[in-house]
Amino acid sequence: MTYTMTINGAAVGGAEQFDIINPATGAVFTQAPDCTKAELDAAIEAAQSAQSAWQAMPIGDRKNLILAFAGKIAEQGEQLARLLTSEQGKPHEDAMADVMGGAYWLAETAKLDLPVEISEDSDERKATTRHEPIGVVAGLVPWNFPIILAMFKVAPALLAGNTMVLKPAPTTPLTTLKIGELAREVFPAGVLNVVSGSDRLGPWLTAHDGIDKVSFTGSTQTGRKVMESAAGSLKQITLELGGNDAAIVMPDVNIEEVAANLFWAAFKNAGQICIATKRMYIHKDIYEPLKAAIVEYAKTVKVGDGAEQGTQIGPLQNSRQYELVLELIQDAKDNGYEFLVGGERSEAPGYFVPITILDNPPESARIVQEEQFGPILPLMKFDDLDDVLGRANASEYGLGASVWSTDISRAEEIAQRLQAGTVWINESQHLSPHAAFGGWKQSGIGVEGGLEGLLEFTRAKTVFTRYKPAPTA
């Protein structure tokens, strides 16, 4: 299969290529275009040339094209999902959710409208604030959810009247490139350009003078570099970064009902979710029975190649993340922490890490303090609510958190005290295109989703109209 970039509405095979690895085997299975500086310049110039006409198009027409794009993605859902599994590793069902979730995000975002705000309307003056597009947006997307997270950016950026250069992660470019082919059939040339490349491409894109805004999802470490790169020309930025989400499980929960939900809050997509539960605090009164229930459920879950029927958890996506997770496991072993399940190295080819659960490691442990982004979960006891809230909030991250309790009023009170951009009660990881999603502290700048997310892709312009001259002295 041949993969091409989309630049100015046309297929570009690329002057250079780079290898793509199947994480279930660790072997190269194809190549993708490695965008050169000249090809990037062409993509940005195309976006610049198309922006004025795209902005001038009535928003209703832009909505219709976004809806048509969503429909084409949905029509190709099965083929796109199979391709996504081969490059990302996730099971087919999860890959379908990623692809179809992207189509859904496009369609729902198209229901939003840019507000017109009148702050003064008197006999002498009217003040009207409108929201205009920024220009050309660079969208940089991570490898864990390549499609839906791309649409987090594409949908509001295009709806607001911007054009875009979209760059998938170097390890998962293929499905996004195929979606770029679908975009050629829908949008005017230059409105949505899709480029792929190795590690060199991201810095070129974020520093480019032709980019007016950068929307980035990825690690906090890389987010800092993006911010530095954008600072030279004062580009606007949205950064959705890492997390170390805490779950607080109160003693009144039904253990049988919540055990599986708690497991998947941590281990979905092999733990490679920025809003996955990464620290689980369980009240001492139910710690032992709930611990046992989670471990027993874990033993029923099939880990394997995402392309194989019945697989529930696939491999880690790339060798770099694989080695980091193994390093954290080894650190836990070196410190004598107790493993309830897992901890061993998989003998299978590819980047597989067995489900690993630790029993009450200290708060100072690396596995507690760091974002593991893999199938590892520390379970920890708590007794006092104030104490556990202090522990949960004592993190440089503030992306998400969850509270599990049958006492909804109390759970809502706890949620208000958690330092996170999103808090779930009796669930985890639910996001909506109609609600703002963003991080506190080192977890990001700005938001995605909802009206607030749409406005991230605009500049406010206020016009004051005076109906008659001011009186002279």
Which residues are known to be catalytic? Answer: 240, 274
State the amino acid at position 65 in one-letter form: L
Own/partner contacts of 436-441, CB < 8 Å, gap of 24 or more, are 437/240, 438/240, 439/239, 439/240, 439/241, 439/243, 439/397, 439/398, 439/399, 440/398, 440/399, 441/395, 441/396, 441/397, 441/398
> What does the alpha-carbon distance between residue 210 and residue 79 come to, in Å, rounded to a whole number?
34
Contact status, residue 281 vs residue 318, Cβ threshold 8 Å:
no
List the beta strands (DSSP E) in 241-290.
Answer: 245-249, 277-283
Q: Is 440 exposed, middle or buried (0-12, 13-18, 19+ CB in 10 A)?
A: middle
Q: Is 385 exposed, middle or buried (0-12, 13-18, 19+ CB in 10 A)?
A: middle
> What does the alpha-carbon distance between residue 192 and residue 47 come to, in Å, rounded to a whole number?
7
> What does the alpha-carbon distance between residue 213 and residue 442 come to, in Å, rounded to a whole number?
20
Assign 98 to helix, strand or coil. Answer: helix
Give CA 297 to chain center in angstroms.
Answer: 27
Contact status, residue 418 vs residue 443, Cβ threshold 8 Å:
no
HEC profile for 343-369?
CCCCCCCCCCCCCEEEECCCCCCHHHH
Beta bridge partners of 237: 214
* Tokens linked to 89: 């590793």
List, edge to edge, every strand of the sheet that includes 125-133. 117-121, 125-133, 458-466
> What does the alpha-carbon distance between residue 336 and residue 319 come to, in Å, rounded to a whole number?
26
Residues in the chain: 473
